[in-house]
Amino acid sequence: MIKILCFLKLILITSICCAQQTELAWLDENSISLKSYQKKLKTDLKGVEVLMLGEASHGTKEFFLEKNEIIKYLISNDGYTQIGFEHMDTEIQKINDYISSDRNQDLPKAMENLMAYKTQEFAELFQWLRSYNIKNPNHKVAVFGFHKEGFYDPFTRDQLMCEEVVKVKDATNAKIILWAHNIHTARNKTMPEISAMGDYLSQTYTDKFFNIAFDTYEGDVHTMNWSNENGYTFDIKTLPPVDKDSFTSIFNQVKHPNFYVHFSKGNPFVSQTRKITNIMVNWKAPFALPTTIAEDFNALIFIRKTSASDVIK
């Protein structure tokens, strides 16, 4: 009996290793370095009107910078004019006032209550949007927050936030980019365990909706803590080691350290569920969550080594 069990275990290990080699070969062939992927992204987005950009944390510098570059590229080259953020609508309205005016505006004051998004990376994006609007008065970009006061029930929040996006889409008929955590971006229930924004938006816009997950293998991240005495305070944490059987571990072996990949038809990840990095706004386990990645997301951006966002003091 012991020999049979050892033989079956060997077969299982061999099968897993072969599967991972197949997956890695597919990723090496289909992934594109972040140095040269934007034209491919634009092609993948043909016919898309709502693009959702995830992030494995709300405190990673490289995620913010890469999303900034996507937003700037798509505004300049693909007609996107509405940018929505997973943040309070009244606070993002202050940012919209800033980017919509050519009068002297106090950006630090407008960003005062952006909490995890009160960073140099966001300030750079907002400054670019303001400059773009000044130069393009007939094609201005607007920003909005799709979280509102009262959207705190985890069982209804994503549906309510989706409804806010639909309102903007109906009112403007614009192409929209949405900025949120991977959990809200996912199409299926594997990661969030309930229907998230990605699920509701996918049902609403079908093939006009496209979502991208972000993942990382190692580095540091900014997290937030709350206390009645000090309010919100920030801390830098080092990401824990990655499970060897996770998607993240496989992504770390791809020939490009930083890459974009579209989970096109025929990819080997269909129906496979493993973990990717997950850091909540506060430092709270678990630090990885399962995802059926090729069903949850249309595409992935992976950045091997990341660092904490540059918080504005």
In a domain, 205, yes or no: yes
304 pLDDT above the threshold of 90: yes
Average of pLDDT values for 263-283? Answer: 95
Q: Return the H-helix or E-strand segment holding 20.
A: helix 2-30
Report the CATH number that the domain containing residue 106 is assigned in CATH: 3.40.50
Can you read off the two tokens belonging to residue 23?
Answer: 């997956």
Please report the pLDDT score of residue 231 as a whole number: 81
Examine residue 7 and state whether it is found in any structural domain, yes or no: no
Q: Is residue 18 part of a domain?
A: no
The average pLDDT across 167-180 equals 98
End-to-end CA distance of the chain: 64
- For the four alpha carbons of 45, 98, 55 and 254, in that order, the dihedral sign comes to positive
Computed over every residue of the chain, the mean pLDDT equals: 93
- Mean pLDDT over residues 214-227, rounded? 95
**Inside any domain, residue 245:** yes
Give the number of domains in the chain.
1
Answer yes or no: is 186 within a domain: yes
Q: Where in the sequence is the domain holding 100, given as residue range(s)? A: 31-306
Asked if residue 301 belongs to a domain, the reply is yes
In a domain, 16, yes or no: no
Contacts (Cβ under 8 Å, ≥6 apart) of 95: 110, 111, 114, 126, 143
The whole-number average pLDDT for the span 70-80 is: 98
- How many other β-carbons are positioned within 10 Å of the β-carbon of residue 243? 12
Beta bridge partners of 223: 235
Q: Are 82 and 174 in contact (CB under 8 A)?
A: yes
pTM for this structure?
A: 0.93
- The pLDDT tens digits for 2-24 are 655 444 444 434 444 456 789 99
Does a structural domain hold residue 76?
yes
